Amino acid sequence: MTKGVLTPPTLNNISIILIDTRTPANIGATARCMMNMGMKRLVLVNPPQDKNNDATKLAAGADEILENVVVAASLADAVANQHLIIGTSRHPGRLRKNIRTPHEAAEAIVPLLAKNNVSVVFGNEVNGLDMQDLSLCHEIIAIPSSPSFPSLNLSHAVMVVAYEFFCATAAGSRPSTVELASTEELEDFYRHLQETLLAISFLEQDHPERIMLSLRQIFGRSRLEVRDVKILRGILSSIRRMRSNC
């Protein structure tokens, strides 16, 4: 390896997260899609019971992924050590600004895999991701499809996204040296931010989430690094100290 050149990014640092999946068969089909596209880390939040071993049947040989699956109680638990959370949605909402196609997202995110853990999150087959889970996502992927029949099967949606990441990796790109703040660090910052904005009466006491969702999007688009979060939290602490001295 040439001195000073980073190792090209791979898909080892990317996770597929399925939330409240209705059928074990879709979990197995997702595992197969991931194996096809060189992804290995599957995380399940509140998965269904697989009484008939349907996941293994539909995995069609992708047993390694199912054997190493990680189960989490909530999306917050699943992404605590991740750095960039990408949600998927057919209904991203009118307030969302950071929406990309799978192709656009893959090209922008693959270079970050050299230094960061990235998760792509899929909701259940009927309702997708709810607002609480979407609030934890820094960016959104929306898959273009026919307006007359826009709904995709869960595993098909995973395949579309995984394919774009596989192609972006295979095409080659210079890996980024940027190290993003972890989700845990970001959530601590958001709690600190909300507490401070409530203390200075910027947020409504009864509905702080209205503005906080917009603020999450603003900072999410910025892809904050560890030092950025420390600076911002230092500002918040100074505001609280000044207020307490008034």
Classify 190 as helix, strand or coil: helix
- Look at residue 151 in the predicted model and tell me its pLDDT: 86
Report pLDDT digits (tens) over 189-225: 999 999 999 999 999 998 898 899 889 988 988 899 9
27 pLDDT band, cuts 50/70/90, is very high
- Look at residue 3 in the predicted model and tell me its pLDDT: 45
Report pLDDT digits (tens) over 82-138: 999 999 987 655 546 678 999 999 999 999 999 999 999 999 999 899 988 988 999
Residue (of 103, 130, 76, 87) closest to 220 by Cα position: 87
Report pLDDT digits (tens) over 52-71: 999 999 999 999 999 999 99
Report pLDDT digits (tens) over 167-188: 999 887 788 999 999 999 999 9
How many angstroms separate the CA atoms of 122 and 197, rounded?
31
Q: Helix 226-245 and helix 183-199: axis angle, to 10°?
A: 20
Domains of the chain: 14-171 (3.40.1280.10), 183-245 (1.10.8.590)
pLDDT higher than threshold 70 for residue 8: no
